Amino acid sequence: MTGRLNSAQPYAIGLFRIVVGLLFACHGANTLFGTFGGQTPPAGTWPYWYSAVIELVGGSLVLLGLGTRAAAFIASGAMAYAYFKVHQPQALWPIENKGEGAAMYCWAMFLLIFTGSGAFGVDRLFAKRSGAPGRTTAEQRPVAA
């Protein structure tokens, strides 16, 4: 059973990345463009406008699996900032300060920094075409001395 679960891991990570990226991008689109009934901050307003740009662009990159680790790193930091500067001063616990979303996105993106894009990502397509590390063909394996 464990073997089957391990072999499905890249697909589970890929699906996780797609869902988290889509939801994160929707959050940014909601803030920037007022989609889904959101209110838009004036362009350049700190920190709301900038965080919305990070959410939309970072979420889209994570969704596509393009530059996943870098996009997730920036997104995770933005959500940590959002939690500690916007939510946490209101109350200690996320359930009290309405910071559950920021905390969950922060940790979800943090996980993607270490796991990468998983299956279905554009990163994997480029890695396969260029023969980058991570490809396990016979040509790529080191020769035993």
Q: What percent of the chain has pLDDT over 90?
A: 72
Q: Is the peptide bond before 42 cis (omega within 30 degrees of 0)?
A: no
Here the tokens at position 124 are 């994997």
- How far is Cα 131 from Cα 19, in angstroms, rounded to an integer? 28
**Distance in Å from the first CA to the final CA of the chain:** 36
Q: What is the pTM of this model?
A: 0.84
Radius of gyration of the chain (CA): 18
Mean pLDDT of 68-87: 97
Q: What percent of the chain has pLDDT over 70?
A: 90
* pLDDT tens profile 89-132: 999 999 999 999 999 999 999 999 999 999 999 988 887 777 76
